[in-house]
Amino acid sequence: RVDAFLADYLSGKPKGINVFSQSSSDASVTTDESLFEQPEPLSHNKAAMEKILWRKSTQMHDEQRSWQECPEGRKMMKFRSTLPAYKEKDVILNAISQNQVIIISGETGCGKTTQIPQFILESEIERMQGAMCNIICTQPRRISAMSVSERIATERGETLGETVGYKVRLEGMKGRDTHLLFCTTGILLRRLLVDRNLKGVTYVIVDEIHERGINEDFLLIVLKDLLPRRPELRLILMSATLDAELFSSYLGGAPVVHIPGFTYPVKTHFLESILEATRYQLTPYNQVDDYGTEKMWKMSKQTPRKRKSQIASTVEDALSAADFKDYTALTQESMSYWNPDCIGFNLIEYLLCNICEKERAGAVLVFLTGWDDISSLKDKLQAHPVLGDPNRVLLLACHGSMASEEQVNVNQLLIVSKKLIFNKPEDGIRKIVLATNIAETSITIDDVVFVVDCGKAKETSYDALNNTPCLLPSWISKVSAKQRRGRAGRVQPGECYHLYPRCVYDAFEDYQLPEILRTPLQSLCLQIKSLKLGSISEFLSRALQSPENRAVQNAIEYLKTIGALDENEKLTVLGHYLTMLPMEPKLGKMLILGAIFNCLDPVLSVVAGLSVRDPFLAPLDKKDLAEAAKAQFSHDYSDHLALVRAYKGWKVADGDQTGYEYCWKNFLSAQSMKAIDSLRKEFYSLLKDTGLVDSNPATYNVWSYDEHLVRAIICYGLYPGICSIVHNEKSFSLKTMEDGHVLLYSNSMIARHSRIPYPWLVFNEKIKVNSVFLRDSTAVSDSMLLLFGGSISKGDMDDHLKMLGGYLEFYMDPSIAKLYQNLRRELDELIQTK
Ligand code: CDP
Ligand code: MG
């Protein structure tokens, strides 16, 4: 082992493309990309190196022993030995030593994430190999990487950043002695960019593979290729469900170790029995709320057994149609008190109150679809006489996601309420945790006895045919429902309330569709290119389940259209820069151009703003005031510029410690403003790493900017998301080439005007809900579209002109279109020669 390690280490070439700074060796917040510290190569003398490693291993061994023998350590070992994973320890370690790849499955909470990496680490330390072993364990979410590593450090009697550390994007806690590192899947993928063989890493553990996230599926293809090149590397896949066979056959029949678990029986209630048992009254107050519920209930009585899809779609209709003619009204209503995407909050409130007053002790876990739901339900419950009483109820929120918007929340959550979430509350106080599906498998709350399941989860889906992504709550799978139910039976027999009828459950799919089959593939394709993994479609055809060819082609087309790939699918210079910016290509494009044109300040706000929740609030009871406040930001015919203005006002006010007041007066979310503020810093530091901006803050703290230029840069980023504005007598309508008539999303600033002095809109996304809605748009002029729409590079100029010509011809007089085309050609030639 030592020989293999040394050979590997000493043969290491200097780092390849060093795009990120390498720094900090002590346990501290780090932003560098290297995962483990290599021992100082004092000399290339093998004997000297061996000595260093031996000394370090001995020290690790002694430290581990002394912890395990002290009273606290013993107590911890005793707890750990009660976990089901502990009983399988020898079987697992044995399987790992004899196979390059193994798959471990076991119920959530059995100890996979916290114990298995520790078993490996401990046994290496026992064998005096501690200093030579480097274990990476990937997690799909930041919050689990952070909380699990901290838990393990505690179990080992250490502080975080010693033997155990974590690394998530732009943040980390690891040090010179870290040998077990938790990171998000994205971090490991980015590491592979500069270190294709994962030099020095001895074990890779991929956790939560049953979730089938796009990054995990991608990582598996890469690791599968890596295994023959690194025969001593061990790969361990961990899954909470029993579809392990799928992975096993993908990885050449790798053995599966199952950890038998134990859960107490959980009594299941579907909607029909909940309504009957609680005698939930339909009062005028919650008429709107109950529309879906009531209809579903009736249906569950009437429909004996319709065909699967029929039922699912009928229920969808019952829930979402709800007689709202105007979608705009619907979304606005839903923001404050009614959510069309899961069953009424009123029913949940009623049910929770029922549990608090009548049921035995035990925590309640409520599964909702997303942060929006969680925070609005939390507000509602806090106003309730029983549920909002802190002497009776401890109300907590728990969610975690990799979307940057939420990272801020996650951090706050970790600091503020992590202990509260995991610990038992005082006697007589009932803990209620509102969670997203993160609590399904990644996080275990031990004392849960009651589970309330709304039956939905927010997932991105992708309509390859129309090339339209949708982010909508959709029904969960049977496996997820079972997982949610299982959370109730960990400490004693539990109860689970599914807020949907039995017939709906019967219509659920068995498993959820893997993400790679339901999301746009642009970023993935860029990553494939930057890792030099060959042809995109060939590479993706080797996935566990390959995406549709049409979806792959769409992504490649898009990347060509925006100039990230050339004709031959080769990464362009722009594409190369885009791969250094871990964000959607369109956001990256704006940043790059913002840097080049030296107007980064507003562009940073635009890009940060696109990554957070809409900061303009519209509370129902103060609708008019909120509207009036909003009006002062809306005169630019741009949602993006409105945000730039709002942020600027906040920043100025915040300097005087009056940021909150400013938000309050202007109906802005202070949380979103803070999130934008910190994202701007993140994006700026990412840009610095690309070398496009220097560290002089003067370049980005420029308060004055050319509004037209910013508009043009937004156009550059959002192209080909373009739509034409057609004015009629009183107002205007919108159409795009692919969808025909489209509408503006209800919160758009542009919808407030009846005339727009520009012929085009560029938009961030379109969402299909009955009609197609555009979200986050900016009005742009002909010349902006002409000059900034698409790529400016010689190779694909003709194609680009054809495409641009297509747009222009579609929307305007062909002779004018011709004129524009010629003008663009001349401009392009000018640019090329300059
Ligand atoms: O990964 P898996 O779902 O199999 O379980 P785990 O995350 O390793 O958790 C195993 C056990 O450790 C849980 O059942 C909890 O009792 C405990 N744990 C804890 O007390 N605090 C944490 N932050 C994480 C786990
Ligand atoms: Mg786990």
Tens-digit pLDDT profile for residues 700-745: 555 567 888 899 899 989 988 888 888 888 889 998 877 888 999 8
Determine the distance separating the centroid of ligand 1 and the alpha carbon of 539, expressed in angstroms. 36
Determine the distance separating the centroid of ligand 2 and the alpha carbon of 537, expressed in angstroms. 32
Question: Can you tell me the mean pLDDT for 305-320?
Answer: 39
Determine the distance separating the centroid of ligand 2 and the alpha carbon of 32, expressed in angstroms. 26
CA distance 262 to 162: 33
Question: Can you tell me the mean pLDDT for 683-710?
Answer: 73
Q: Relative to the CA of 442, which ligand 1 atom is closest?
A: 3
Main-chain dihedrals φ then ψ at residue 457, nearest 5 degrees? -145, 150
CA distance 259 to 254: 16
Q: Relative to the CA of 110, which ligand 1 atom is closest?
A: 4
Kindly identify the ligand whose nearest atom is closest to the C-alpha of 107. 1
Task: Give tens-digit pLDDT for 224-264.
Answer: 999 999 999 999 999 987 678 889 999 999 999 999 887 78
Mean of the per-residue pLDDT values of the chain: 77
Q: Partners of 105 in the beta sheet?
A: 239, 258
* Inter-residue contact 354 to 485 (CB < 8 Å): no
Identify which of 9-13, 406-410, 685-689 has the greatest average pLDDT: 685-689
Main-chain dihedrals φ then ψ at residue 520, nearest 5 degrees? -65, 150
Report pLDDT for 602: 93
Residue 332, pLDDT > 90, answer no
Protein residue closest via CA to atom 13 of ligand 1: 109
Determine the distance separating the centroid of ligand 2 and the alpha carbon of 118, expressed in angstroms. 13
Kindly identify the ligand whose nearest atom is closest to the C-alpha of 82. 1
Structure tokens at 223: 């690791």
CA dihedral 738, 739, 743, 745 (to 10 degrees): -70
- State the pLDDT confidence band at 762, using cuts at 50, 70 and 90: very high
Determine the distance separating the centroid of ligand 2 and the alpha carbon of 153, expressed in angstroms. 16
Residues with CB under 5 A from ligand 2 (ion): 112-113
Question: Can you tell me the mean pLDDT for 818-830?
Answer: 66
Kindly identify the ligand whose nearest atom is closest to the C-alpha of 108. 1
Determine the distance separating the centroid of ligand 2 and the alpha carbon of 491, expressed in angstroms. 18
- State the pLDDT confidence band at 182, using cuts at 50, 70 and 90: very high
Report pLDDT for 637: 92
456-463/468-475 β-pairing: antiparallel
Protein residue closest via CA to atom 20 of ligand 1: 422
Closest CA to 531 of 564, 567, 566, 580: 580
Q: Does 527 or 701 have the greater pLDDT score?
A: 527
Residue 349, pLDDT > 90, answer no
ipTM confidence score = 0.99
Q: DSSP character for 209? A: G
CA distance 423 to 431: 10
Mutate to test the pocket of ligand 1, among 105, 113, 444 (most ligand atoms within 8 A of CB): 444
Protein residue closest via CA to atom 16 of ligand 1: 446
Determine the distance separating the centroid of ligand 1 and the alpha carbon of 482, expressed in angstroms. 19
Kindly identify the ligand whose nearest atom is closest to the C-alpha of 490. 1
Report pLDDT for 280: 53
Structure tokens at 644: 């730039």
For the ranges 292-296, 319-323, 435-439, the lowest mean pLDDT is seen at 319-323
Mutate to test the pocket of ligand 1, among 114, 164, 205 (most ligand atoms within 8 A of CB): 114
Determine the distance separating the centroid of ligand 2 and the alpha carbon of 106, expressed in angstroms. 9
Measure Cα distances from 77 to 73, 148, 153 in Å. Answer: 6, 17, 13
Q: Relative to the CA of 111, which ligand 1 atom is closest?
A: 8
Task: Give tens-digit pLDDT for 272-302.
Answer: 777 766 655 433 333 333 334 444 444 444 4
Q: Relative to the CA of 147, which ligand 1 atom is closest?
A: 23
* Inter-residue contact 828 to 790 (CB < 8 Å): no
Report pLDDT for 683: 86
- State the pLDDT confidence band at 413, using cuts at 50, 70 and 90: very low
Kindly identify the ligand whose nearest atom is closest to the C-alpha of 446. 1
Report pLDDT for 82: 93
Report pLDDT for 435: 86
For the ranges 2-11, 114-123, 621-630, 671-680, the lowest mean pLDDT is seen at 2-11
Sheet holding 135-139, edge to edge: 171-173, 164-168, 180-184, 135-139, 203-206, 234-239, 101-106, 256-259
Protein residue closest via CA to atom 21 of ligand 1: 151
Report pTM: 0.72
Closest CA to 472 of 323, 320, 610: 320
Determine the distance separating the centroid of ligand 2 and the alpha carbon of 439, expressed in angstroms. 10
CA distance 669 to 153: 36
**Range 373-386 burial, b when 16+ CB lie within 10 A, else e:** bbbbbbebbeebee
Protein residue closest via CA to atom 12 of ligand 1: 111
Question: Can you tell me the mean pLDDT for 751-762?
Answer: 89
Question: Can you tell me the mean pLDDT for 87-111?
Answer: 94
Determine the distance separating the centroid of ligand 1 and the alpha carbon of 486, expressed in angstroms. 15
Report pLDDT for 540: 93
CA dihedral 274, 275, 277, 278 (to 10 degrees): 100
Q: Relative to the CA of 418, which ligand 1 atom is closest?
A: 23
Determine the distance separating the centroid of ligand 1 and the alpha carbon of 489, expressed in angstroms. 15
* Inter-residue contact 542 to 511 (CB < 8 Å): no
Q: Relative to the CA of 85, which ligand 1 atom is closest?
A: 4
Question: Can you tell me the mean pLDDT for 783-809?
Answer: 59
Determine the distance separating the centroid of ligand 1 and the alpha carbon of 443, expressed in angstroms. 7
E-strand spans in 667-756? 722-727, 732-736, 740-744
Kindly identify the ligand whose nearest atom is closest to the C-alpha of 106. 1
Residue 316, pLDDT > 50, answer no
Report how far Cα 576 is from the mean position of its chain's Cα atoms.
23
Determine the distance separating the centroid of ligand 1 and the alpha carbon of 234, expressed in angstroms. 23
Kindly identify the ligand whose nearest atom is closest to the C-alpha of 112. 1
Structure tokens at 8: 């590997």
Residue 412, pLDDT > 60, answer no
Question: Can you tell me the mean pLDDT for 570-576?
Answer: 83
Task: Give tens-digit pLDDT for 41-77.
Answer: 555 678 888 888 999 999 999 999 999 999 999 999 9
Residue 206, pLDDT > 80, answer yes
Which residues are near ligand 1 (CB < 6 Å)? 83, 106, 108-115, 147, 151, 422, 444, 446
Closest CA to 237 of 406, 117, 414, 386: 117
Report pLDDT for 188: 92
Protein residue closest via CA to atom 7 of ligand 1: 113
Kindly identify the ligand whose nearest atom is closest to the C-alpha of 486. 1
- State the pLDDT confidence band at 322, using cuts at 50, 70 and 90: very low
Task: Give tens-digit pLDDT for 126-178.
Answer: 999 999 999 999 998 887 898 899 999 999 999 999 999 999 876 789 998 99
Determine the distance separating the centroid of ligand 1 and the alpha carbon of 615, expressed in angstroms. 36
Q: Relative to the CA of 490, which ligand 1 atom is closest?
A: 14
Residue 392, pLDDT > 80, answer yes
- State the pLDDT confidence band at 344, using cuts at 50, 70 and 90: low
Q: Relative to the CA of 238, which ligand 1 atom is closest?
A: 1
